[in-house]
Amino acid sequence: MRLKDKVALITGGASGIGLATVKKFIAEGAKVAIADINVEQAQQVVDQLEPGSAVAVGVDVSKLAEVEAAVQSAVDAFGKLDVIFNNAGIAGGKPLLDQDPAVDYEPMIRVDQDGVYYGILAAGRQFKKQGTGGVIISTSSIYGEQAAELSFSYSAAKAAVISFTRSAAYELAEYGVRAVAITPGRVATPIINQFSDELKATFASEQLRNKMTAPEEIANVVAFLASDEANVINGTVVHVDDGYSVFKQRLDLPVF
């Protein structure tokens, strides 16, 4: 078990990629603090897991004090912190000129951008205090590296996550801390599964396997990145997009 005796805090851990990662980490031997704005749902997850392997923590990642408290809750429950997975996020989209900043910009920045900043800050301070190093993994997106339809605010927040990761790796290396960002493509999470079959088929066609990525496939990568096997992966953007960023559209080629 590659994460034996590790303690992790996973934000957005009650559903989607976060939930899949919680289960993977525990299967790999870790103890996990499941941090989610829906603490009741997080507790339901805990109740289904091996007793003593996880605790539920309520957190609004847009508030530094709550993120700091979540870190402390993980330490109080399991004695230390080794990994934080800054995964909590929201999605949404609207054409730029139709946006209401209070609705379409500010919440996205507070959760998807500020929430990651607070996670890096709070975990980094705990890692320094412990003197044992640690790993910071943050969820960016394919949209963090490119323009796309209806994603002005979302792309900005996810691009910030990439910049945060590189700077955190640079600044925290002296404390034995690694920082890595992942960029998922089209993942079959509750956010995407609510859409029509036609739209989901379009999403699937944008990836090389012509299907949506399962949350468990992302979790497998995150578990590796959190492990000592990934010690040389630092300050890096790891694409977990099944080739989404490789191409735009398949073409029906003429016969030459």
For every residue of 82-102, DSSP letters joined together read -EEEE---------GGG--II
Amino acid at 158: K
Q: Which of 105, 117, 143, 154 is catalytic?
A: 154
Tell how many helices (H) and how many strands (E) occur in the chain.
9, 7
3-state secondary structure 101-157: HHHHHHHHHHHHHHHHHHHHHHHHHHHHHHCCCEEEEEECCHHHCCCCCCCHHHHHH
Describe the crossing of helices 152-172 and 115-130 by its angle, rounded to 10 degrees: 10
CB 244 within 8 A of CB 186: yes
Catalytic, 154? Answer yes
What the block records as the tokens of 132 is 């044992």
Place of tokens 């925290």: 172
CA distances from 238 to 38, 111, 124, 166, 227 (A): 28, 21, 20, 12, 15
Cα–Cα nearest to 240, from 67, 61, 21: 21
Pairing of strands 54-58, 31-36: parallel
Residues catalogued as catalytic: 154
